[in-house]
Structure 1
Amino acid sequence: MKHMFRTWFLSVTSIAALLALAATYAWFTSNRAVSTSVATARSGEETLELQISSRGGSGFQSMDTAAIQQVNQTSATYLMPVSTADLVNFVYVPMTVNGNASTFEEVKEEKYYYHGRVYLRAQGTGWPQGTRMNLYLDQTDGFLGRNTDGKMLSAARLGLMFDGDASTAAILRLTEEELGSKQVYNTVINGKTLGKNQVLSSKNHTVQAVTDPSVSVADYTVSFGSEDIQIPEKALLSMELNKVYTVDVYFYLEGCDPDCSDAIDFQQADLHLAFYGMVEEVTG
């Protein structure tokens, strides 16, 4: 049973990032942090709030502003085009021949893309055993912030993974705007040029074309009407109460996207990420 108004919880989490792209390079600022303002639900003996922290485990400490701790140890100053279908195995193109990308190598040490980490917890008391919180995204204040004219967002992807479980991975397209005639199809594998909705998958050192698993950010985003809330059919995560969850945050340029081309030059955009939680009570 869903309690649409009595038990709703909001955590606004902002990734403060300035993005700029020249040709196939992107610059990611070092000012990466998240902040949260929590609306806490209290009804009789029941309390619950969605919390965020820069540290996990026993070091979890709920805070208003939590820095995203960079996980990959390589420089994230420059982002190179990569491709992935699972946020686990990434490939890149060491060189192009006659303008086509046809030679691929596995990314080592997480080079060429950004990988950061924060932690979430649904802290609650007084709820029936088995009560969970479903996690969604919220774009109330503008998911991408105010400066969203950056064309590079058409080729960018935001990836989220929970507790290191690849089955929880969500790869999100941040905009559905395209560059139109400036799109370039130049990824070639086994003599065939990849189409619009294809990316590269690497398993056992073998690279192959697969269907692009990315979805629109709207698929996981709640929307608010004047008197109701529209909840997506699928949640990002079903959270146990009082358990700390690791949230791995990936930001990268999908090299197989036809918008990942030289047509993108020195565009900037603010990137914000917001979570919304709703209790799913046990019935029976």
Structure 2
Amino acid sequence: MKDTQQGSASRLRFVQVGIVVALFVLLAALGVATYAWFTNNAAVNTNSVSVHSDDSSLVVDLGDAASGSWSSSGDVALSSNSPDPLTLYPVSTFDLNGFAECTHNNDAGEAVHFEQAADGEHFYHGWIDLRARVIGSGAGNATGAVNLYLGDSLVPSDADPELLRAARVGLKFSRAGQVVMTCYFALDGSDGGHRGDHPATRPGLDGYADGMLLGWQNGSLACANDGSEDFNAYLMGSGDSAMRPQNALLTMDQGTDYRLDVYYYIEGTDPDSADYLYGDVGVVHLNLFAVLDGQGA
């Protein structure tokens, strides 16, 4: 069945709220090493784009639930413990909970020793709280859940193809301290992606095979299959006859606080695997599309 972004007889059936997170990335070659300078000054902007009720509207508040500081318009900065500027090094994760990084290669150049990467030190980690609610005279009669989708591509404009193959964007949604949805996206997985260019990895883990991801779990190094996804499966189409994607990033209850953690990192198991990335500037936009599936007054 085809869903459109136009109004219909069902009030509040489709309401769009744009949420934009701008991630600015600068990579520059310095000697034999390559550094990715990343600003943690990311911000979120919300704008009510379309409302299909005369007396009610859907808003998405962003801010800090603990302090009670919320905003439904303008720019809201993400919280982050990452330094500014931030140097990105290759790290590996299969769940966005624990990141591993190589600290030593053997004489053959194989990555053999790994430690847990400190949160936000060699990869970007920012977070913000969000909640969806219906306001107006008919708000009390509005029912249904709010589904979140990607509103635009995650691929940075004018970014070098090699950067796209190396960089990943991860999203983690939590409710009352419990993770309810985790997904991470390879911006370009063609030709096996950036991981296909890595030197051999020998982590000494039972069950490890080439192409698996590493991470940190229960206090030690662990491995798992690559669960990265194509972000297009979550991307809302454009135009009057746009198809809604099969997958939603998150299904939200109205009036409930959620936390969104945003990760930007170079997926890799060898510290030298990104040396060829240099002189590239890209901007990654995370644009979320919110839809209230229900009936209004």
Shared fold (TM-score, shorter chain, > 0.5): yes
State whether residues 17 and 28 of structure 1, in contact with CA within 8 Å, keep that contact through their aligned partners in structure 2.
yes
State whether residues 64 and 129 of structure 2, in contact with CA within 8 Å, keep that contact through their aligned partners in structure 1.
yes
State whether residues 54 and 66 of structure 1, in contact with CA within 8 Å, keep that contact through their aligned partners in structure 2.
yes
Provide the residue aligned with 2:116 in structure 1.
Answer: 106
State the identity %: 28
Provide the residue aligned with 2:221 in structure 1.
Answer: 207
Provide the residue aligned with 2:10 in structure 1.
Answer: none
The structural deviation recorded for 1:88 is 0.9
The structural deviation recorded for 1:13 is 0.4
Runs of 4 or more consecutive aligned structure 1 residues displaced over 6 Å after TM superposition: 179-182
Please identify, of 181-190 and 201-210, the stretch whose mean Cα deviation from structure 2 is larger.
Answer: 181-190
- Aligned residue among 190, 210, 220 for 1:195: 210
- Deviation string 1:194-244 (CA, Å, 9 cap, x unpaired) is 534x2013323332331111112112111124x312222121111111233
5 Å matches for 1:1-284? 4-6=5-7, 7-20=14-27, 22=29, 23=33, 25-51=35-61, 53-57=62-66, 58-70=68-80, 72=81, 77-97=86-106, 98-125=108-135, 126=138, 128=141, 131-139=144-152, 143-149=154-160, 151-163=162-174, 164-177=177-190, 183-190=197-204, 194-196=209-211, 198-225=212-239, 227-256=240-269, 260-281=273-294
The structural deviation recorded for 1:249 is 0.8
RMSD across aligned C-alpha pairs, in angstroms? 3.1
| TM-score, structure 2 as length reference | 0.80
- Residues 30 and 279 of structure 1: is their aligned pair in 2 closer, same or farther, counting only changes over 3 Å? closer
Rounded Cα–Cα distance in structure 1 between residues aligned with 2:28 and 2:95: 24
- Residues 48 and 182 of structure 1: is their aligned pair in 2 closer, same or farther, counting only changes over 3 Å? closer
Rounded Cα–Cα distance in structure 1 between residues aligned with 2:165 and 2:149: 22
Alignment size in residue pairs: 276
State whether residues 114 and 203 of structure 2, in contact with CA within 8 Å, keep that contact through their aligned partners in structure 1.
no
Structure 1 unaligned spans of 5+: none
Structure 2 unaligned spans of 5+: 8-13
Please identify, of 260-269 and 83-92, the stretch whose mean Cα deviation from structure 2 is larger.
Answer: 260-269
